Amino acid sequence: MQMNTPPRSTIRLTRRGRVALIATGAVVAGTAVAVPLLSLESEGDARPTSLVIPEGWRSGQIYEAMDKVLALPVGTTKKSIAKAGLKLPNDAEGNPEGYLFPATYPLKEKATPESLLSFMVNTANQKFNGAPVAAGAQRNAMNVYQAVTIASIVQAEAASKADMGKVARVIFNRLERGMPLQMDSTINYALNRATLKTTSSDTRLDSPYNSYQRMGLPPTPIDNPGEDAMRAAINPPPGDWLYFVTVKPGDTRFAATYEEHQRNVAEFNAAQKNATQKNATQKNSAQPTK
């Protein structure tokens, strides 16, 4: 049942938990989150010995990294999925998103896209299919694939490991109250981008990943979450939070009421205004005098 919720255009839960307010058709948001660089352990021109997949990478980033480290034409890894024989849950319908587990993978001399993809999916199955995860998912009235999907949103939205549990609780509370998730991370996934700047037209995107227009979870995970995000997804702390906003680095505020959230947003806006004025003053003071 839909709860008494302010109009959707006034509520914004953005990637990394930052709030953004829609004004004159645009969204004011923080700086974009930098995409982590591929980390390869190698010396000089020698062949890399391992491939590091960071938490939160999307499948597309992983395919690109694998093509690069294996010195293959762009698109080779993605094309190999169909013949890799990946052991994915039925709900995934052959899409490995969420099951390319973030870790450091050794690169054997005869490594292929198929062998690496299988290694990643098998690792995910070992992590996700054990009793703790299965029991946690059941305790929260969901299956493991849904838990991985929630973990992927937590991975994208939480500003820190400490915030992950509360972000997961916000997701559960919104789902239980029949509220749309309204998170930019799902729209960014649909648009294959990494940015905090989402326009009002973006929120009208015709996509099953548009959590402004569609109720419930997106159809698949939106990245490949790590163990911390998964633990948060199956065992979130108790709480009645429905909103969150990072007022400043290290200070994420969670609120149960829209009124409380508005007060937090006001502090966020004041902090942003002060930062903008400070940057402008520093820039002006750095200008050479004539």
Determine the average pLDDT of the residues in 37-48. Answer: 56
Closest CA to 184 of 212, 160, 163: 212
Q: What is the C-alpha separation between 224 and 99, in angstroms, rounded?
A: 6
The pLDDT of residue 246: 83
Cβ contact 237:169 at 8 Å? yes
Strand-pairing partners, residue 183, are: 13
Q: Report residue 274 CA to chain centroid gap.
A: 28
* 38 dihedral zone (left: phi>0; alpha: psi -120 to 50; beta): beta
pLDDT in the model for residue 281 = 74
pLDDT exceeds 60 at position 171:
yes
What is the spatial distance between Cα 155 and Cα 221, in angstroms, rounded to a whole number? 10
pTM of the predicted model as reported, rounded to 2 decimal places: 0.81
CB 133 within 8 A of CB 127: yes
**Paired tokens of 118:** 């299988």
Residue 37 burial class via C-beta count within 10 angstroms: exposed 0-12, middle 13-18, buried 19 and up: exposed
Q: Distance of CA 193 to CAs 15, 31, 60, 204, 228, Å?
A: 12, 14, 11, 16, 24
Contact 232, 196 (CB under 8 A): no
35 pLDDT more than 90:
no
Q: Where are the beta strands (DSSP E) in the chain?
A: 21-23, 26-28, 39-41, 50-52, 104-106, 243-248, 251-255
CA distance 258 to 243: 8
- The predicted-structure confidence for 90-113, as pLDDT tens digits, reads as follows 999 999 999 999 999 999 889 999
Judged against a pLDDT cut of 80, whether residue 31 lies above it is answered with: no
Per the model's pLDDT, the better-predicted residue between 45 and 126 turns out to be 126
The whole-number average pLDDT for the span 148-164 is 96
* Alpha carbon distance 135, 146 (integer Å): 13
- Considering only 42-46, 130-134, 234-238, which range has the smallest mean pLDDT? 42-46
pLDDT tens-digit readout, 52-85: 999 999 999 999 999 999 999 999 999 999 999 9
pLDDT at 12 over 80: no
How much of the chain exceeds pLDDT 70, in percent? 81
